[in-house]
A and B are shown apart, each in its own frame.
Chain A
Amino acid sequence: MHETMVAQSLLAAISSEADRQNARPVGAKISCGTFDAINDEILCFAFEAVAKGTGCEGVKLEIEHKPIRCRCRDCDRNFDFELSSPICPECGSEKFELLPDAPLLLETIEFQTEQRNV
């Protein structure tokens, strides 16, 4: 349910860039880490609700989920953390540490070429 606050922050960021570009935004790509616990359906629904009646109404979100990276303390390899099988895929060790989770980022915004005020 914290997706609502994410949606509001996202709306502010897209609106501010749309003002700078003086163009109509149509899509935005965001990326998030596993621990951000973002549910795509809920975020899209929340964004649709907060964007209604603003210049960002109708903006389509594309959400990329990044895996948690780990470093094995036995063989020093980096790998993606799988909750279902939390072991190093190279050496089978259970001794590893989680690397910092990917941040919640607004990556790109797609705009219509025509200026919005024309």
Chain B
Amino acid sequence: MYKVDIGKKILIANEEYARKNSRFLAKRKKLCLNMISSPGSGKTTILIRTISELKDKIKIGVIEGDIQTDIDAERIRAATSAVVQINTNGSCHLSAAQVCGALENLPTDDLDLIFIENVGNLVCPSAFELGEAGKIVVLSVAEGDDKPAKYPSIFAKSKVLLINKIDMLGAGVQVDFDVEKVKADARRLNKDIEIFPVSAKTGEGMSSWYGWLTESVGNLRL
């Protein structure tokens, strides 16, 4: 028996595609954000409202990742025609190679911002870089306020935390969710994370999120 030292990254193939995507986007000065959350946190509803309300300022396209069906792409299509569906057929996350193919099928030159809506899963997608400029994690209040502590990786790696469905907190519904605790736990993992409590349903809090998006897109245009 003998041993050979390798010392190589295992996900090198994914990282090479991620770098390719990142170069493609940087060359065209397009902002790309990778949206990650549990299933049912409201990613698609947030996107539809964001695309519609910012349509005069920012042209947004979407790469929609789901295990199966194009239900979400159809919903997004009501707000923008620039949407590409990826079906992972069982895989729990999007890979950079899949995103590379999807970018070729989007009218990228006509867009300012591309959202990647990842497969609903709070663990696996955070381990795969896609070439995005930043990750957006969505946590809805119905999921509980212990999630940053239980799933630290995605909160540590994200630029923005959207706390969604805050309309439920004041609606007389019994939801045990302490917004301040979530903010403190998330900032313990990631001191620079931007946090916006929102309701994509009522529109509450969305203007601060739009402000961050508009500024981020503006910085790229410079």
Contacts and interface: CB of A to CB of B under 8 A. Distances in A.
Q: Are both chains from one complex? A: yes
A12 interface: yes
Interface in B182-196: 188-191
Given A1-B124, A9-B10, A105-B7, A113 B93 contact: no
B153 interface: yes
Interface in A77-112: 83, 86, 94, 97-98, 101, 103-112
Contacts, number: 93
Interface stretch (B11-19, B37-45, B55-63): B11-19
Nearest to B189: A98
Contact of A21 (B4, B7, B128, B190): B4
Q: How large is the interface on B (under 10, 10 to 19, 20 to 34, 35 or more residues)?
A: 20 to 34
A75 interface: no
Contact of B124 (A2, A34, A104, A113): A2
B3 A109 contact: yes
Interface of A: 1-2, 4-6, 9-10, 12-13, 17, 21, 26, 30, 34-37, 83, 86, 94, 97-98, 101, 103-113
25 contacts: A2-B127, A2-B128, A5-B91, A5-B93, A6-B10, A6-B11, A13-B6, A21-B4, A35-B126, A35-B152, A94-B188, A97-B191, A104-B9, A104-B10, A105-B9, A106-B6, A106-B8, A106-B9, A108-B4, A108-B6, A109-B4, A110-B2, A110-B4, A111-B1, A111-B2
